[in-house]
Amino acid sequence: MEPNRSTAAPNDAGRISPVYRAVMAVSGPIVRWWGRLEVVGLDNLPTHGATLVPANHDSAWDPVVIAFAARRRRQIQALAKASLWKNPLLRRVLNGMGQIPVRRGEADTNALDAAVQCLADGGCLGIFPEGSRSQGKQLRARSGVGRLAQSVPEARIVCAAVSGTVDITRFPRRPRLKVTFFEPTPPPPGESALNLAARLTTELRAVAPLPPSDRTA
């Protein structure tokens, strides 16, 4: 079944959708209290205008934790695996949050077009340059984030390095979550899409190193 494409408009800090607010409220006790979330560099995230947010990906909790960390400034629309849209209830939630389904392992031009449109409309788009969860292994950067940056050159790039998410489910041990927003180093002239993705991944991992391979979530 083809996932429903989101029609939600991009949102700035003053126009966060009701569904997005509800998800943030539900996740709050887990992220803020149980996870003891620390947020660094939030002022680097613009409150409006086209913004691309690359992040490292070690846990299924990463999108929620990053979104919660950014909630006072932006609603982050994100590229997420299309299989999540198979669940009717989850599909409604994802569409209400403005998320964009992408089919992994193939050239999903519809997803790329939707992501470009999000940025062109002044939205804030989250993406994992590594493509999928690391599971403690160094993954090759994918060119998608670079292609988006090249397609909408006016978009600001603000990285989100997230750590501690693999420990959220390690009860009774409480995690220490941290999200660091930072601007990457300026690109060299003529940098390719793939090289941009690789550079962003390297800079993200310098702030949020790979977790041990036996700790995945």
Is 146 within a domain? yes
User: Is the pLDDT at 1 greater than 60, yes or no?
Assistant: no
Report pLDDT for 99: 94
CATH code of the domain containing 89: 3.40.1130.10
Give me the number of domains the chain comprises: 1
**Mean pLDDT, residues 20-26 taken together:** 96
Report pLDDT for 105: 67
SS (H, E, C) the chain: CCCCCCCCCCCECCCCCHHHHHHHHHHHHHHHHHCCCEEECHHHCCCCCCEEEEECCCCCCHHHHHHHHHCCCECCEEEEEHHHHHCHHHHHHHHHCCCEEECCCCCCHHHHHHHHHHHHCCCEEEECCCCCCCCCCCCCCCCHHHHHHHHCCCCEECEEEEECHHHCCCCCCCCCCEEEEECCCCCCCCCCHHHHHHHHHHHHHHHCCCCCCCCCC
Is 216 within a domain? no
**Mean pLDDT, residues 180-209 taken together:** 96
Output the average pLDDT for the chain: 90
Is 215 within a domain? no
Is 7 within a domain? no
Is 8 within a domain? no
Is 78 within a domain? yes
Is 26 within a domain? yes
Chain segment 125-174, per-residue pLDDT in tens: 999 999 888 988 888 999 999 999 999 999 999 999 999 999 998 888 99
Is 9 within a domain? no
Could you list the residue range(s) of the whole structural domain that residue 179 is in?
18-207
